[in-house]
Amino acid sequence: MAPIAIAARAGSVNRSGSGVRQLLGVSVPVSQPEPAWSGIEETKADRIAKHQPGEIEKAVRRMPTLYVIAFFGVVVLCAVLIIWNTLQVNKLTAERVKLDDQIAQTEQRLIRQRAEEMQLSAPDRVRAIAQSKLGMVEATGEDIIVTKEGAASRTP
């Protein structure tokens, strides 16, 4: 049967301070703790298991996460602001269209009222109403008397 070698795990360290590792009952002095037997390469998992991160390293590892959260927070904030701005623009555009329609209606009403004013104030219409409803007659040169004050009056 072949001899079996037993060694301490790569993650464990001899903390007794003797610097001696035992292999099959034989003490071998070691100046620095070796990760494993020299013929076997240390795996990435072994290196990670050995390394105990400090507070600063933990904070540095958390930094990218904070940056990602902050980045997505800014993106969400920008999206919300763009949507809010779009809604405000749509609201103001609808209000402007409504006011433009009111202006157009008011201008049309003003044109109609000016036409009606011109029709009602036509000289022929005024003359006809004065003669028929008020019994007025057109003045001739004989009806006008000039007084000293310069005021015109009608003779009886």
Q: Whole-number mean pLDDT of the chain? A: 77
Range of 22's domain? 1-52
User: Does 45 map to a domain?
Assistant: yes
Q: Is residue 76 part of a domain?
A: no
Average pLDDT for 19-32: 48
| Res 5 pLDDT > 90 | no
**Residue 103 is assigned to a structural domain of this protein:** no
Q: Provide the domain count of the chain.
A: 1
Instruction: Assess if residue 105 is contained within a domain.
Output: no
Residue 77 within any structural domain of the chain: no
Q: Tell me the H-state helices in the chain.
A: 44-50, 55-120, 123-132
- Report d(CA 138, CA 134) in Å as an integer: 12
- Out of 12-21, 34-43, 133-142, which region has the weakest mean confidence (pLDDT)? 12-21
* ∠ Cα 144 126 118 (to 5°): 130
Q: Specify if 28 maps to a domain.
A: yes
- Band the pLDDT of 20: cuts 50, 70, 90: very low
